[in-house]
Chain A
């Protein structure tokens, strides 16, 4: 499943002309990585990783702990990239890659 979304993301990243669409595709790819890790720890029918009195099977907590940081860094990366694009648009009044070649 995450492979399919990854393919969509890469396809969009290469074919998109608008820089903002490129950033959106990058965040799609980033989300596929998160989805891949979370789903790798998923067990069908298991509970959330919270200790209860009963001894039942729980989902693997390791990928969830890892992905917390990935989300933070993803937010920071996206905001920085969009700020750069806004600055670029102020200077060149375009965000299309095909038009940026003119400058």
Chain B
């Protein structure tokens, strides 16, 4: 299928792009107080760039540009660490402990951490999808590389196929084992798993509410997220960078 022929897609996407930018900016900038955040905004803008590249069949910016965008994410993490330390005496402005940080400082820290995740995710989304779209090399543009197509729908291969009857027997054996495993695990879970109380206790919910109103944050998810946010941001940034590096290594090795 040649998407390049479609005038409708090209016109519609070019008209929609500013609105996508605006929407991702809205989701990002209200991330601390309302539903939304850095990750969601990054995914919105990243996938939109991927769609643009799919339709126009060419790269908008080169790979190093998005790699630099990714690395800028770490820079914002560092800014949050050092600025928080200089202002309040704690790294990240004492965000990791309730009450260790004042309201305006906490909001600023959340903004910086959101920015780190936003840059990280928007850069890596494009890079990850690009590795599957432009598999051949940096110059030749080939959407949906033949390797990937064959992998999804394998055709006749030169390797000797196992006879059909033997396959059926193997499949039956494996299916019986799988059914047994599933039955045992379900029984074990039902019998021995302790009853999990679904909601936080009433007092804890009140604490969350009070903290939310104190920091004037309306999104309670981000209030719960206030403490572990620093560690979580660091973890996400590291995982994303390692993934992009890993894909690069896998792709490059001959």
Taking a contact as CB atoms closer than 8 A, the residue among A76, A77, A89 that contacts B150 in the complex is: A89
Max chain B C-beta neighbours (<10 A), residue from A18, A20, A69: A69
Q: Mostly helix, strand, loop or mixed at chain A's interface?
A: helix
Taking a contact as CB atoms closer than 8 A, the residue among B147, B186, B224, B246 that contacts A65 in the complex is: B224
Question: Are A49 and B250 in touch, CB under 8 angstroms?
Answer: no
**How far apart sit A41 and B121, CA to CA, in the bound complex (Å)?**
27
Question: Are A86 and B135 in touch, CB under 8 angstroms?
Answer: yes
A64/B253 contact (C-beta < 8 A), A20-B152, A51-B209, A72-B39 known: no
Within 8 A of B (CB), among A10-69: 10-11, 14-15, 18, 20, 40-43, 48-52, 58, 60-62, 64-65, 68-69
**How far apart sit A101 and B200, CA to CA, in the bound complex (Å)?**
50
Max chain B C-beta neighbours (<10 A), residue from A20, A72, A76, A82: A72
Q: Number of contacting residues on A, CB 8 A?
A: 46
Question: Are A49 and B175 in touch, CB under 8 angstroms?
Answer: no
Number of A-B residue pairs at CB separation under 8 A: 132
A69/B236 contact (C-beta < 8 A), A90-B147, A94-B159, A98-B162 known: yes
Question: Are B178 and A86 in touch, CB under 8 angstroms?
Answer: no
**How far apart sit A99 and B151, CA to CA, in the bound complex (Å)?**
13
Query: What is the 8 Å Cβ interface bit string for chain B, positions 111-138, against chain A (1 contact, 0 not)?
Result: 0000000000100000010011001000
Taking a contact as CB atoms closer than 8 A, the residue among A49, A58, A80, A96 that contacts B243 in the complex is: A80
Taking a contact as CB atoms closer than 8 A, the residue among A7, A41, A49, A77 that contacts B182 in the complex is: A7
CB-defined A-B contacts under 8 Å, sample of 27:
A3-B186, A14-B178, A14-B181, A15-B174, A15-B175, A20-B152, A42-B198, A60-B198, A61-B223, A62-B200, A62-B224, A65-B221, A65-B228, A68-B221, A68-B225, A72-B239, A73-B239, A76-B240, A76-B243, A86-B145, A86-B147, A89-B150, A93-B150, A93-B157, A95-B151, A96-B154, A102-B159
Residues of A within 8 A of B (CB): 3, 7, 10-11, 14-15, 18, 20, 40-43, 48-52, 58, 60-62, 64-65, 68-69, 72-73, 76-77, 79-80, 82-87, 89-90, 93-96, 98-99, 102
A14-B177, A76-B239 given. 5 additional CB < 8 A pairs? A11-B179, A49-B220, A79-B128, A87-B253, A93-B150
